Amino acid sequence: MAPSMRDVQLTEVAGDGAGEEVRLLDSYDEEEEKLGDNLRRIQVRVTGMTCAACSNSVEGALMSINGVVKATVALLQNKADVIFDPSLVKDDEITNAIEDAGFEAELLSEPTASRTNPHGTVVGQFIIGGMTCAACVNSVEGILKQLPGVRKAVVALATSLGEVEYDPSIISKDDIASAIEDAGFEASFVQSSEQDKIVLGVVGISGEMDAQLLEGILSKLHGVKHFLFDRVSNELEVVFDPEVLGPRSLVDGVEGGSSGKFKLLVKNPYTRMASRDLEESSKMFRLFTASLSLSVPVILMRVVCPQIPLLYALLIWQCGPFQMGDWLKWALVTVVQFGIGKRFYVAAGRALRNGSTNMDVLVALGTTASYVYSVCALLYGAISGFWSPTYFETSAMLITFVLLGKYLETLAKGKTSGAIKKLVELAPATAILLVKDKGGKVVGEREIDALLIQAGDILKVLPGTKVPMDGVVVWGSSHVNESMVTGESAPVLKEINSVVIGGTINLHGSLHIQATKVGSNTVLSQIISLVETAQMSKAPIQKFADYIASIFVPVVVTMSLLTFFGWYVAGVLGGYPEEWLPENGNYFVFSLMFAISVVVIACPCALGLATPTAVMVATGVGANNGVLIKGGDALEMAQKIRYVIFDKTGTLTQGKAKVTTAKVFTEMDRGEFLTLVASAEASSEHPLAKAIMEYARHFHFFDEPSDNGGFQSYSEQAKFSGWLQDVSDFSVLPGKGVQCSIDGKWVLIGNRKLLTENGIAIPSNVENFVVELEESAKTGILVARDNVVIGALGIADPLKREAAVVVEGLIKMGVQPIMVTGDNWRTARAVAKEVGIHDVRAEVLPAGKAEVIRSFQKGGSVVAMVGDGINDSPALAAADVGMAIGAGTDIAIEAAEYVLMRSNLEDVITAIDLSRKTFARIRWNYIFAMAYNVIAIPVAAGVFFPLLRLELPPWVAGACMAMSSVSVVCSSLYLKRYKKPRLTTILLEITIE
């Protein structure tokens, strides 16, 4: 099944920049904080938070409680993690403090992982048809949130999607769809976060007997919980127990049970959504062309035919009580009004029943007024002989233009969601499965649907084909193009034990890959989830537009009534001459046309599209440029960034520590010294230990370290190579180093703090050597044996090539860069000087980075944090805008609002620049959305008619209303032309290609 919108994570990608931060200051990371025996930990669900300021408020309220030791608030997960002393504070006091801060609090029964939904809820997606404006969105959201069992509901106008978090034990997806339909809209279920559900297309069903055979096979399959077969669409939905039955086993069981009669095809939810988009677009085009073909003759009869004597004579031929032209107009417009325009009446009626108003109400009101008046004018003329003008063409053309606008919107919406379609197209449709016998020997090959791959499968990937799923190479060697996922253009060598990503292209040799992550756990699926989640989100600026739209319809109706009564009363009282009236017209008709024009032109449909369409395009453009944006709120905050705080290791630097210097201060042989150090570090899994092991190995065997091998493989090989010494009493001292016993002698390897705490004096020549290393941006590691310093190692982490240019570019953009690191001051200052950062905070522990961020936020400035490691997560969450570098870690990515997939600092500038241009476009969108209304409403109301005889016929007002929506969507689509700033021009000025 497709990934859940809530199950969002990214898997670590092999390559530069991936991995956790290596703090060079104290040489070793501190262990994760552990709870004391007298402390308790709970998690609280917090509802109502919209930004980092909200999470800070909740955090502050919790920390002010006596007895609370630590409180961390996760804005994205709407959760607070609280560690407290139960003897001093109770659970309800914690929830009360959150509620007193202005938010809703719900105690979770136990800490839950961020990738699971509390209380067994699932997240379902529904396609919602018929929404035309922000008022429709508000109506649907309001009704969904009132349903029992629904915890959260978000509806996106631009994508026509609704995301509902609900408890399936209380309410079903069918109940939710029915509620949406009762609100006046169309609804169909797309997918849910349940991983034990699959939708299949069935080929081979030709009658009732076949359907019964299918049901019989499914009933006998062990592990099938329940199923539903739609005999109209031939779609089969199956819920199964994944511990008993896999999706491929399910398909094989059905196809085998039918002796090959049935063929099952997995339905990709995104493909189904795309087909529905195409179907909606085709439907709107058919309605528009039908309405146009019937409306054009009505216009021709009014404008062109009077100029052609023969045709005009036919039209004025008396046929019963009416002329032939009147009969034709009435017949044609009736079909348009109640046949093609039926959808407006149905939607308007349902909306009114639910106490809401939307664009359909205005369209139904305007067209009905002109149609009913025209019919009444004909009947009154037949009875009294006094013939008033009719306005059948007004209602016909109004419906036509509204349908034109809707058709163009569907086309534009399809373009705005193009990023997701492109991502989906990266995944291959099929895969070659290697079939093994019970002994594990390959006995054949089988082509299967890529959506049926199961974890543990061995897949064959031929040259020139796409890797079908995330996995590990178990045989073969080749270069793989990963640019479509990571953005890196250079092919990456893949050998045994190398990690590969689904959707990337195998260039040369054949590979055998063991699938490790399938379904929603793959990198590609999670990228799709991030983009889709962002397109579903609402920027804070949209809340104002939603509020305006929610009250707009009643305001418009009121304005229309005031316009009608104003003109009518003025006419009756002699306020304007009768020559202003149309031929055979009266004050009522004259006033009614102005009122109808106001109703039509004032419709706020474009207002609701202004923000979401721009956000959709921006997230798609960002994804194409390697920048994943989690939502409109992130975009809005990023354009206000004043400070960017960089972590050092793995962010400004490459995160690949290498030993550059090894110096012995005693008579010990250099090789013996390196063997001693390597023996001690062989038991450690720290990245610096890997660097030391690689250096020592190269010294002894002249082996070049391989980037493809992990540290564990190096250490394991080293342990059995025979050149290392035996180690006992080994232990890691977080933030200091390691200690152990070798040949009965006590060995310490670490920083100054480790040695001084053990009473070991550091000679001046050693101190001078270490200071020299630190001033050259290297980290000094001291080695002592039996309380005597015997040597030191210099470890360097090269800067990323683009770091200095990016820092200077940010300064030119008006953004101040700051570096916060756990390394020592000398190393930190040396690195900062090299990249051009003037504000440095060194020797800062992971938890302290969040405090540094808060110090800058106190002045009201928007602060961004750029980091990559687990210990950056608190800072990423505390920042107004968190930017996770590269694949990074799952925890860091959960905490960030932006994910920079390429591990390239240039994307920090791209993220800020794209955000600024997006909100500049949103402002233009609001101008386009409101300009038609602000300028045309006075004209439609007849304000300029007394002086200029300027009026806006209702059908022209309908054209303007349709064009307002089209203008907004086209304005948003202009963002697709975005080009990120070029690195070569950043030094001069921030420009685009």
Work out the pLDDT band at 177, boundaries 50, 70, 90.
confident
Q: Which two tokens mark 788?
A: 């005597």
- Of the pLDDT bands very low, low, confident and very high (cuts 50, 70, 90), residue 351 is low
Task: Looking at the structure, tell me whether residues 679 and 738 fall in a common domain.
Answer: yes
In a domain, 887, yes or no: no
In a domain, 504, yes or no: yes
Residue 125 and residue 103 in one domain: no
Q: Report the C-alpha dihedral over residues 549, 555, 560, 565, rounded to 10 degrees.
A: 180
Q: How confident is the model at residue 532 (pLDDT cuts 50, 70, 90)?
A: low
Which range among 268-272, 439-443, 607-611, 883-887 shows the weakest confidence by mean pLDDT? 268-272
User: Do both 233 and 125 map to the same domain?
Assistant: yes
Q: 230 with 147, same domain?
A: yes
- Asked whether residue 321 falls in the same domain as residue 378, the answer is yes
- What is the rounded average pLDDT for all residues in the chain? 76
Pair (73, 124) in one structural domain: no
Judgement on whether residues 362 and 277 belong to the same structural domain of the protein: yes
The secondary structure of residue 992, as a DSSP letter, is: B
Q: How far is CA 406 from CA 359, 630, 869, in A?
A: 12, 28, 46
- The more confidently predicted of residues 416 and 333 is 333
Q: Is residue 405 domain-shared with residue 515, that is, in the same domain?
A: no
Backbone angles phi, psi at 670, to 5 degrees: -60, -40
Model confidence at 110, pLDDT cuts 50, 70, 90, reads: very low
pLDDT of residue 782: 92
Q: Residues 321, 313: contact at Cβ < 8 Å? A: no
647 is catalytic: yes
Number of domains forming the structure of the chain: 5
Instruction: Identify the domain boundary among 521, 537, 570.
Output: 521
Which pLDDT does position 785 carry in this prediction? 92
Q: Is 353 exposed, middle or buried (0-12, 13-18, 19+ CB in 10 A)?
A: exposed
Is a pLDDT exceeding 70 seen at residue 707? no
Mean pLDDT (whole number) for 974-978: 86
Of 69-83, 338-352, 644-658, 919-933, the range with the lowest mean pLDDT is: 69-83
In this predicted structure, the answer to whether residue 131 has a pLDDT above a threshold of 80 is no
CATH at residue 791: 3.40.1110.10
Q: What is the mean pLDDT of residues 509-522?
A: 81
The torsion angles phi and psi of 322, rounded to 5 degrees, stand at -125, 165
Q: Are residues 682 and 768 in the same domain?
A: yes
Same domain for 232 and 309, yes or no, is no
Q: At residue 357, does pLDDT exceed 70?
A: no
Domain's final residue, options 777, 796, 815: 796
Average the pLDDT over 859-869 and give the result. Answer: 82
Does residue 748 have a pLDDT over 90?
Answer: yes
- Taking only the tens place, the pLDDT of each residue in 179-194 is 888 777 778 776 665 5
pLDDT band at 111 (very low <50, low <70, confident <90, very high): very low
- pLDDT confidence of 502, banded at 50, 70, 90? confident
**Statement: residue 252 has pLDDT above 70:** yes
pLDDT band, residue 858 (cuts 50/70/90): confident
Residue 787 reports pLDDT greater than 80: yes
Q: Flag the least confident range among 86-95, 456-465, 599-608, 669-678.
A: 599-608
- Name which residue leads in pLDDT, 463 or 117: 463
Look at residue 100 and tell me if it is in a domain. Answer: yes
pTM surpassing 0.85?
A: no
Residue 485 lies in a domain: yes
Q: Flag whether 542 is in a domain.
A: no
Query: DSSP secondary structure string, 824-886?
Result: -HHHHHHHHHHHT--EEE-S--HHHHHHHHHHHHTTT-EEEEEE-SGGGHHHHHHSSEEEEES
Instruction: Give the integer Cα–Cα distance in Å for 889 and 906.
Output: 20
Tens digit of each residue's pLDDT (9 = 90 or more) over 297-330: 888 887 788 888 888 788 788 887 888 888 898 9
Domain with 464 in it: what CATH number?
2.70.150.10
Burial class (CB in 10 A: 0-12, 13-18, 19+), 696: buried
**Residue 31 confidence class, pLDDT cut points 50, 70, 90:** very low
Distance CA 764, CA 759 (A): 16
Is residue 483, in this structure, part of any structural domain at all?
yes
Structural domain including 288 reads 272-415
Strand order in the sheet with 641-647: 627-629, 898-900, 881-885, 862-867, 641-647, 816-820, 839-841
Determine the pLDDT at residue 897. Answer: 79
Q: Shortest CA distance to 183 belongs to which of 124, 126, 123, 122?
A: 126
* Of 109-118, 780-789, 849-858, minimum mean pLDDT range: 109-118
Burial class (CB in 10 A: 0-12, 13-18, 19+), 112: middle
Let me know whether 80 and 144 are in one domain.
no
Cα-flanking dihedrals φ and ψ of residue 927, to 5°? Answer: -65, -45
Classify 344 as helix, strand or coil.
helix
Given the residues 647, 797, 872, 913, the one annotated as active site? 647
703 has pLDDT over 60: no
Single out the residue in 203, 235, 267 at which a domain terminates.
Answer: 267
Least confident of 665-669, 765-769, 935-939: 935-939
In this structure, of 19-28, 379-388, 763-772, 905-914, the range with the lowest mean pLDDT score is: 19-28
CATH code of residue 101: 3.30.70.100
Closest CA to 104 of 56, 148, 162, 47: 47
pLDDT score of 741: 92
Share of the chain above pLDDT 70, in %: 76
Q: Which residues pair with 992 in a beta bridge?
A: 981
Establish if 871 belongs to a structural domain. no
Q: Is the pLDDT assigned to residue 717 strictly greater than 60? A: no
Comparing 107-121, 618-632, 848-862, which segment has the lowest mean pLDDT?
A: 107-121
Mark whether 181 and 98 lie in a shared domain. no
Position 324 in a domain: yes
